[in-house]
């Protein structure tokens, strides 16, 4: 998706059903503007996202992957995001070690009341990915 | 070694001993039993490393009521500790007989603990704490690292040798064979998904025996990758894989949260 103005990244965002998806919903009904580069995948909990899913997203040419869930302590399943943060820490470090630009993977906590923050997170992340340019894996497909 | 095994078998402390035996000039795994003590004549120690824990897992699976002995090096003992923690073996049904590795082997492996807690063969050599392989990679910039690893990963012929030889790969279903994750009928496999998936699975499991790299027909330096995984687990969670303590592997349970978002999005 190369627009005439420049590079338009593809970003896959995994949003948890209870908090971040609610946040996205609130941003929507509040008519907040944010870049349309993200493709949302709603999951019941961020802990259901295996590192495989993220790797597969990158493999298929995603320029960035955003994982957003409930704040620590607010998880609908009590401790789901405890696992998420551990997995993301490991995966980012692995991506760094193998040279696959770990900045393309971003983890944040967004509650269902944070519509404004949701729009802000998406804006910042999209901006960062635009600066980084297309993913190295994208050219292979 | 011979006397120790003989004594264990004769006293019926163990029903069988899993060790190496010279067969047609090559060392291979063998189950020594009390009924065939003469087999012990060909018991082999040497510098050979072999995934004996993998053999032990198979035998223990079929005969769960038996207590078995097994020859262990430093890495094998770490493997046993992890297998106990992951509930794959029962601690009271395994009697390890230790072998300490020589200096040359320890240096080739860059092993931080080339000796088990107790050993009957060999001399203790100091472990090597800094890995030159890791330093080499860490010294590169992002572009060089990417080029290096993509070149290495693209040599993969997807033989699954690294998984099959791995004493810590005990899962019944392997995600590397899941068609939804890894395309079939394509070589090299999807990189980096294939290799990084395996690396993620090695968190809290890899005990740095390095058999994967020895098994690899394309000489991909997978050991370097898993060494990094081990170091990462130590740095991020303070968990030393294979250490005999109460702590469980960090990705094996929810536990308590010790990380902050700023630790992740560095």
pLDDT tens digits, A101-120? 999 999 999 999 999 999 99
User: Looking at beta carbons, which residues of chain A come within 8 Å of B256?
Assistant: 82
pLDDT in tens, B21-73: 988 888 999 999 999 888 888 888 888 889 999 999 999 999 999 999 999 99
> If you average pLDDT over every residue of chain B, what do you get?
91
Distance between CA A102 and CA A81 in Å, rounded?
A: 20
On whether the CB atoms of residues B81 and B206 are closer than 8 A, the answer is no
Note the pLDDT of residue B140: 93
User: Looking at beta carbons, which residues of chain B come within 8 Å of A87?
Assistant: 200, 251
pLDDT in tens, B120-140: 988 888 888 889 999 999 999
Both B32 and B95 in one domain: the answer is yes
Whether B261 is covered by a domain: the verdict is no
> If you average pLDDT over every residue of chain A, what do you get?
92
Both B181 and B87 in one domain: the answer is no
Both B92 and B139 in one domain: the answer is no
pLDDT at A141 over 50: no
pLDDT bracket for residue A139 (50, 70, 90): low
On whether the CB atoms of residues B226 and B212 are closer than 8 A, the answer is yes
* CATH 3.40.50 holds for A2-135: yes
Q: What is the mean pLDDT of residues A75-86?
A: 93
Cβ–Cβ pairs < 8 A, chains A and B: 100
Q: What is the mean pLDDT of residues B180-202?
A: 89
Both B105 and B136 in one domain: the answer is no
Both B104 and B136 in one domain: the answer is no
- Write down the domain spans for chain A: 2-135
Whether B265 is covered by a domain: the verdict is no
Cβ separation A98–B146 shorter than 8 A: yes
pLDDT bracket for residue A140 (50, 70, 90): low
Is omega for the bond preceding B264 within 30 degrees of 0, making it cis? no
CB under 8 Å to A126, separation ≥6 — which residues? A9, A11, A34, A35, A37, A38, A64
Whether B118 is covered by a domain: the verdict is no
Whether B121 is covered by a domain: the verdict is no
On whether the CB atoms of residues B18 and B29 are closer than 8 A, the answer is yes
Proportion of chain A in helix, strand, coil states, percent, rounded to 5? 45, 20, 35
Whether B119 is covered by a domain: the verdict is no
> What are B144's two structure tokens?
């060089």
Q: Report the alpha-carbon angle B134-B75-B126, nearest 5.
A: 70
Whether B39 is covered by a domain: the verdict is yes
Both B101 and B139 in one domain: the answer is no
Number of domains within chain B: 2
Q: What is the mean pLDDT of residues B101-106?
A: 91
B55 vs A4, A120, B153, B244, CA distance in Å? 61, 55, 29, 22
Which domain covers residue B25, as residue numbers?
2-109
Whether B259 is covered by a domain: the verdict is no
Note the pLDDT of residue A5: 60
The 8-class DSSP code of residue B35 comes to G
Cβ separation B237–A136 shorter than 8 A: no
Q: CB neighbours (10 Å) of residue A122? A: 26
Note the pLDDT of residue A4: 47
Q: Which of B147, B148, B196 has the CB atom closest to A94's CB atom?
A: B196
Distance between CA B222 and CA B212 in Å, rounded?
A: 7
Residues of A with CB under 8 A from a CB of B: 50-52, 55-56, 58-59, 72, 79, 81-83, 85-95, 97-102, 106-109, 136
Whether B266 is covered by a domain: the verdict is no
Which one of B109, B140, B166 terminates a domain?
B109
């Amino acid at each position: 998706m190369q627009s005439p103005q420049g590079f338009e990244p593809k970003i896959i965002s995994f949003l948890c059903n209870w908090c971040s998806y609610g946040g996205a919903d609130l941003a929507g009904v509040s008519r907040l503007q944010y870049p349309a580069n993200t493709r949302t995948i709603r999951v019941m909990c961020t802990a259901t996202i295996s590192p495989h899913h993220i790797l597969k997203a990158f493999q298929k040419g995603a320029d960035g992957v955003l994982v957003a869930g409930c704040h620590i302590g607010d998880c609908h399943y009590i401790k789901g995001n405890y696992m998420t943060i551990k997995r993301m820490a490991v995966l980012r470090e692995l991506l760094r070690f193998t040279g696959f630009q770990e900045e393309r993977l971003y983890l944040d906590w967004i509650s269902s009341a944070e519509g404004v923050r949701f729009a802000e997170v998406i804006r910042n992340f999209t901006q960062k990915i635009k600066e980084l340019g297309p993913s190295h894996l994208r050219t292979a497909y | 070694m011979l006397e120790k095994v003989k004594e264990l078998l004769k006293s019926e402390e163990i029903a069988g001993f899993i060790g190496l035996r010279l067969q047609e000039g090559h060392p291979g795994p063998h189950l020594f039993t009390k009924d065939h003590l003469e087999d012990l004549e060909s018991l082999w120690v040497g510098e050979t490393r072999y995934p004996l824990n993998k053999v032990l897992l198979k035998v223990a699976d079929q005969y769960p009521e038996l207590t078995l002995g097994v020859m262990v090096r430093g890495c094998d003992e770490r493997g046993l500790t992890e297998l106990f923690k992951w509930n794959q073996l029962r601690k009271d049904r395994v009697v390890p007989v230790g072998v300490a590795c020589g200096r040359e082997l320890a240096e080739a492996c860059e092993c931080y603990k080339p000796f088990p807690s107790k050993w009957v063969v060999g001399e203790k050599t100091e472990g090597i704490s800094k890995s030159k392989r890791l330093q080499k990679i860490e010294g590169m910039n992002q572009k060089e690292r990417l080029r290096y690893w993509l070149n290495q990963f693209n040599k993969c012929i997807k033989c699954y040798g690294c998984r099959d030889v791995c004493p810590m790969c005990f899962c019944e279903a392997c995600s590397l064979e899941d068609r939804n994750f890894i395309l079939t009928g394509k070589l090299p496999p999807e990189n980096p998904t294939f290799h990084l998936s395996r690396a993620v699975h090695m968190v809290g499991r890899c005990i740095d025996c390095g058999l994967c790299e020895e098994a690899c027909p394309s000489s991909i330096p997978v050991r370097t990758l898993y060494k990094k995984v081990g170091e990462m687990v130590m740095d991020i969670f303070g968990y030393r894989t294979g250490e005999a303590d109460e702590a469980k592997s960090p990705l094996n349970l929810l536990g308590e949260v010790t990380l902050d978002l700023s630790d992740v999005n560095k």
